[in-house]
């Protein structure tokens, strides 16, 4: 069947698509679309949190120290730098160095997750659950665990992705483009934390 046969009567045939959209490789573009969609998810959660905090007169301020969250922030920001070093090494074709820095990033992600879980345990130990807490409205627990839990899920997923992609990169099944794609995801996880910290932790500091 020729192109002319496919043309609607009276209309010229559409030009065939040439090259990827925005000149971006398809895998990278798919990751960007996922990131944009995930931005909407986190935005909706954070705005819902803002609506509740604004609307609840007895919003609790349970955090007495920012040491733990400061360490977590430092670890996550540092993991973004190590990810960048890994991406650059993979672009330069230095496979051992790229693998090493990807694994360092994964370890930092694991440390972050462990600190996060330790903090949760501390709050649960003080009597905080999804539906009640000793300090004020029970909405705080559901908002806090939902937002930080969603972020923690992303961190754990990122660590799994880093390990899987890193190992396959080392064996030659994946290339530098795949490292860059998983790097985009990791930076996004870091970016979300930049909004979670002030909204969920720092504004609820009891001092």
Partner 1 sequence: MANPIEVRKTGDHGAHVTPGIGKDVIVYVCLLVLAGVQFVMAYQNLTVSQMLTRMMFVAIIEASLAVLFFMHLYSEKRSFLIFVVVFTVSVLLGLQYGWTDSNRMINGAPYSEVK
* Residue of 84, 75, 200, 206 whose CA lies nearest to 141: 200
Place of tokens 């806090």: 144
Which is nearest to 159 in space by CA: 76, 94, 37? 76
Site string for partner 1, 146-175 (x = CB under 8 A): -----------------------------x
State which of residues 14, 30, 71, 91 lies at the interface with partner 1 (CB under 8 A).
91
CB of 191 to partner 1, least distance (A): 5
The CB-of-10 to partner 1 minimum distance in angstroms stands at 31
Identify which of residues 82 and 133 has a Cβ nearer to partner 1 in the complex: 82
The answer to whether residue 54 forms part of the interface with partner 1 (CB under 8 A) is yes
By CB under 8 A, residue 126 contacts partner 1 = no
- Enumerate residues 10-39 that contact partner 1 by CB under 8 A: 22-25, 32, 36, 39
For residue 204, the tally of other CB atoms under 10 A from its CB is: 16
Q: Report how far residue 162's alpha carbon sits from residue 75's, in angstroms, rounded to the nearest whole number.
A: 16
Which residues on adjacent β-strands are paired with residue 63?
A: 205
CA angle (51, 191, 93) in 5-degree steps: 160
**DSSP H or E stretch at residue 31:** helix 26-55
Question: Other CB atoms closer than 10 Å to residue 169's CB: what's the count?
Answer: 21
For binding to partner 1 (CB under 8 A), which residues are involved? 22-25, 32, 36, 39-40, 43-44, 47-48, 50-52, 54-57, 66, 70, 73-74, 77-78, 80-81, 84-85, 88, 91-93, 175-177, 184, 187-188, 190-191, 194-195, 197-199, 202-203, 205, 207
């Amino acid at each position: 069947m020729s192109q002319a046969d496919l043309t609607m009567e009276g209309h010229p045939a559409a030009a065939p698509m040439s090259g990827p959209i925005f000149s971006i490789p398809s895998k990278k573009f798919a990751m960007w679309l996922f990131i944009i969609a995930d931005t909407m998810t986190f935005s909706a959660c954070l705005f819902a949190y803002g609506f509740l905090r604004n609307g609840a007169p007895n919003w609790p301020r349970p955090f007495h120290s920012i040491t733990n969250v400061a360490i977590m922030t430092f670890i996550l920001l540092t993991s973004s730098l190590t990810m960048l070093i890994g991406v650059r090494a993979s672009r330069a074709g230095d496979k051992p160095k790229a693998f090493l820095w990807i694994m360092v990033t994964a370890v930092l992600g694991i440390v972050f997750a462990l600190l996060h879980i330790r903090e949760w345990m501390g709050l649960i130990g003080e009597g905080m659950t999804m539906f009640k807490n000793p300090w004020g409205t029970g909405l705080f627990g559901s908002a806090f665990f939902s937002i930080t839990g969603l972020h923690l899920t992303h961190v754990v997923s990122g660590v799994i992705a880093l390990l899987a992609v890193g190992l396959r990169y080392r064996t030659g099944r994946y290339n530098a483009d795949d490292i860059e794609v998983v790097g985009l995801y990791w930076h996004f996880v870091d970016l979300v934390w930049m909004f979670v910290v002030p909204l969920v932790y720092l504004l609820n500091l009891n001092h």
